[in-house]
Amino acid sequence: MRSPVIFTLALSLTLAACGPAPAPLDLDALRMVDLTHAFNARTIFWPTSPSTFALEVLAHGQTDGGYFYSANAFSTPEHGGTHLDAPIHFAEGRQTTDQVPLERLIGPAVVIDIAAQAAADRDYQLTPDDVLTFERAHGRIAPGTIVLLRTGWSRRWPDRLAYLGDSTPGDASRLHFPSFGADAARLLVEEREVAVLGADVASIDHGQSIDFLVHRIAAARNVPGLENLTNLDQLPSTGATVIALPMKIEGGSGGPVRVVALVRGE
């Protein structure tokens, strides 16, 4: 293993050769928030998914060589648990999972909170007025922003009935949960030119959607979606940086993603 001192010196010399060194990332000054549900046997998938997450133990224990060894195999559909929807999921010819630029997946985030509205109406959809109200309080949402919608729904995870509004296998027609509305999505994607739409529910379209307009509006502009997020209540309305890196599936329409927010010390 390379010595940390040698590695640091080598990195410093490399950066010096490339020009002025960037400001160091001071992790001690940041609070890290995991916005990801763990994958396991209770992970929620779309009701029409033919399978769910499975973990097969290949090895777990002492070897003949006298050391411990563990290895597993896993299988999962792309769209379940905390995952990314690549634009091609709802738009032919748009970016696949491996083609989504890192610049879209790492950036400043805002959190629009509609938990109160969702508590009163589980089919609530974010409106343009909600967005404008947010902007009056926090400033105009800048291009390249990752927009996260907090509904409060993640506290229901992993109760399928409470989270989705229905638990009938193979039937997605009776789902009830809040999310983005189409007009708000147009405002955010087409006018504000945001990088990503994300939410702490099973879809960036509300549960009763049958045309998936929010997905289609976002995908047309190569804007990916993040679904089944959690811990959005631990983020400020503005000021966080989000890192959302999916499994790099070549040609994929989505995939599991680990989403982390960096928040300045409060």
Q: Which residues are catalytic?
A: 89
Phi-psi sector, 152: left (phi>0), alpha (psi -120 to 50), beta: left
Nearest to 178 by CA among 130, 244, 145: 130
Cα separation, 122 vs 50, whole angstroms: 26
Q: Which helix (H) or strand (E) holds 30?
A: strand 30-34
In DSSP terms, which residues pair with 27 in a beta bridge? Answer: none
Whether omega for the bond prior to residue 4 falls within 30 degrees of 0, making it cis, is no
Query: CA–CA separation, 258 vs 84, rounded Å?
Result: 9
Residues making up the chain, counted from first to last: 266
Closest CA to 147 of 185, 116, 98, 115: 185
Q: What is the CA radius of gyration of the chain?
A: 20
Q: What are 89's two structure tokens? A: 């999921």
The residues, ordered by sequence, that sit 6+ positions from 26 with a Cβ below 8 Å of its Cβ are none
